[in-house]
């Protein structure tokens, strides 16, 4: 067995204890809105229904969970903005890969909901269409 293995276990235990995720990775996802109206987001996974949430202009809705890192953790959302609607995955294996940073502890994924569509980025940085990843327009 690799001699660093016990340290990895210890490290995972410390992360587990501080973030409530046992041998899994703690994640937080933030949905920020830049829509100059209230929008409604309904976020679900196979196990959880986070319900309908109204997100005001410049507001955010966020939630946390543990990912087993086995590509099976999935959250998706339904979004309403007046008569516009869209549905999309907010966390899946590609997004987990895109948002994962080589750091200890909690990982984050940020969504910007904008009039032209939905963008994602691993950091809460100022929006720029050059580095935020465009995922989908409104339907
Ligand atoms: C969530 O909000 C949408 C849009 O306002 C509405 O159509 C839907 O019925 C709501 N769902 C629930 C469970 O309240
Ligand atoms: C995350 O959402 C909670 C309410 O659910 C809010 O109190 C908190 O400020 C939000 N976090 C951030 C960083 O905006
Ligand atoms: C997750 O998916 C990626 C590519 O889609 C694959 O390379 C990787 O081995 C998968 N990991 C697990 C634990 O299944
Ligand atoms: C994003 O960063 C801004 C500026 O630092 C801060 O005001 C805001 O609370 C942050 N939002 C989230 C969801 O982390």
State the chain's mean pLDDT as an integer.
90
Q: For residue 30, is it within any domain?
A: yes
Number of folded domains that form the chain: 1
Q: For residue 7, is it within any domain?
A: no
Please give the DSSP secondary-structure letter assigned to residue 137. Answer: -
Give the DSSP per-residue string, 7-72.
HHHHHHHHHHHHHT-SSSEEEEEEEEE--SS-EEEEEEESS-EEEEEEE-TT-EEEEEEEE-SSS-
Closest ligand 4 atom to 62 CA = 13
Per the structure, the complete domain to which residue 79 belongs is given by 24-136
pLDDT digit string, tens, across residues 115-133: 999 999 999 999 988 899 9
Q: For residue 72, is it within any domain?
A: yes
Characterise 3 by phi-psi region: left (phi > 0), alpha (psi -120 to 50), beta (else): alpha
- CATH number of the domain encompassing residue 107: 2.60.40.10
Please give the DSSP secondary-structure letter assigned to residue 92. Answer: S
Q: For residue 64, is it within any domain?
A: yes
pTM here is: 0.83
Separation of CA 48 and ligand 1 centre (Å): 16
pLDDT score for 2: 61
């Amino acid at each position: 067995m690799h001699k660093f293995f016990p340290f990895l276990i210890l490290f995972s235990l410390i992360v587990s204890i501080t973030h409530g995720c046992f041998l899994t990775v703690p994640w937080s996802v933030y949905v920020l809105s830049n829509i100059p109206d209230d929008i409604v987001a309904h976020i679900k996974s196979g196990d959880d229904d986070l319900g309908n949430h109204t997100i005001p202009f410049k507001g955010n809705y966020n939630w946390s969970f543990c990912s087993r890192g086995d590509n099976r953790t999935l959250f998706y959302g339904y979004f309403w903005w007046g008569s516009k609607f869209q549905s999309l995955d907010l966390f899946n294996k590609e997004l987990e890969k895109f948002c994962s940073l080589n750091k200890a502890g909690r990982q984050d994924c940020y969504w910007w909901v904008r009039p032209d569509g939905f963008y994602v980025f691993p950091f809460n940085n100022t929006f720029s269409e050059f580095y935020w990843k465009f995922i989908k327009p409104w339907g």
